[in-house]
Amino acid sequence: MTALIVTFSNDNESIPLVIKEIEARGEKAFRFDTDRFPTEVKLDIYSGDSERVIITDGEQRLDLSEVSAVWYRRMRYGHKIPNSMDKQYRDASIQECRVTVRGMIASLQGFHLDKMFNVDRANNKQLQLQVAQKIGLLTPRTLTTNNPTAVKQFAQECPQGIVTKMLSSFAIYDQQGRENVVFTTPVTADDLENMEGLRFCPMTFQENVPKALELRTTIVGHRVFTAAVDSQSLEGSTFDWRKEGKALAKNWQPYDLPEDIEKKLLTLMAEFSLNYGAIDIILTPDGRYVFLEINPVGEFFWMEIYSPYYPISQAIAETLVTQK
């Protein structure tokens, strides 16, 4: 049987890592790059008297009746459709690609890591915080608003200051196509006096939580891998370690979470019916564990590349191969 990996052509090292582990177990993996559909990859979906789905990518062909498991990872629907196409038609084509691919995935009968509706539900950050609080995890005080007055009042209630972030993944691209990610950023006194932009876009504000360490806990099934990094060691990563992600990549160290925190995180996974999740936590100087968020398709590759302590690709491969 075959594991179907749904991603895009410029995805990172996690894809070959998992494919290698699947093949090491005597199984097959088929990579479906969503950005190359429909311009380069063909997808035939038959329904009615006979149901059949065929993916054709060059000389490779997969009958989805052979698929025992699917790893639903990264989507870039129709990104290779020419930009020269009229915007209305291009947008319509991309949307049609999206509903076609998602419909195909939803109809697959094998094991899903994870089911799309579970991933979509877990991606709601407000719901994450609500569920985390319910099961006893500490969370930062949080405000999402388009109201400058509410932000000023919230800032007065947070003596350590506040930071701002986006609920959705967001990046700005320059004329050369270089990506500039919007990171978690401190809110200054000047910012509080210049919040007219909120009328065009709501933002999320959180109390600034002091950091002794930042933790990344990756859960695959019931296996828990936690790493810690001193994000305060570099000026640029004080508020968001990702801003100095490359510089800190080799600094992550194994970390043992308290048993009760691990149990709560596994409960969180169960609440969202997830088999995979990457969780961000702050360890405060006074020893509190503060939950920030869970990413149901979060990254792990840098920990595995630079450390022997995190065989996450092996755990993913074993899950895909064994849970048929």
Give me the phi and psi of 259, to 5 degrees please: -55, -40
Q: Is the bond into 38 cis (omega within 30 degrees of 0)?
A: yes
Fold match between domain 2-113 and domain 115-139+209-307: no
Question: Residues 83-95, buried b or exposed e (16+ Cβ, 10 A)?
Answer: eeeeeeeeeebbe
User: Whole-angstrom Cα distance, residue 259 to residue 281?
Assistant: 15
CATH topology of domain 115-139+209-307: D-amino Acid Aminotransferase; Chain A, domain 1 (3.30.470)
Give domain 2-113's CATH architecture. Answer: 3-Layer(aba) Sandwich (3.40)
- Which residues are CB-neighbours of 84 under 8 A, at least 6 positions away? none
Local structure of 155: helix, strand or coil: helix
Q: What is the structure's pLDDT at 172?
A: 62
286-307 per-position pLDDT tens digit: 999 999 999 999 999 888 887 7
Q: What is the structure's pLDDT at 213?
A: 96
Sorting pLDDT into bands at 50, 70 and 90, what band is 50? confident
Q: What is the structure's pLDDT at 176?
A: 57
256-267 per-position pLDDT tens digit: 999 999 999 999
Q: Give, in degrees to the nearest 5, the angle at Cα 104 between 101 and 107.
A: 150
Q: Are 113 and 70 in contact (CB under 8 A)?
A: yes
122-177 per-position pLDDT tens digit: 999 999 999 999 999 999 999 999 999 999 999 999 999 999 988 887 666 555 55
User: Whole-angstrom Cα distance, residue 232 to residue 246?
Assistant: 15
Q: Where are the domains of the chain?
A: 2-113, 115-139+209-307, 141-207
274-286 per-position pLDDT tens digit: 999 999 999 999 9
Mean pLDDT of 57-78: 93
- Which residues are CB-neighbours of 47 under 8 A, at least 6 positions away? none
Q: Is the bond into 256 cis (omega within 30 degrees of 0)?
A: no
Local structure of 85: helix, strand or coil: coil
Tell how strand 203-207 and strand 142-145 pair up: antiparallel
7-41 per-position pLDDT tens digit: 999 999 999 999 999 999 999 999 999 999 999 99
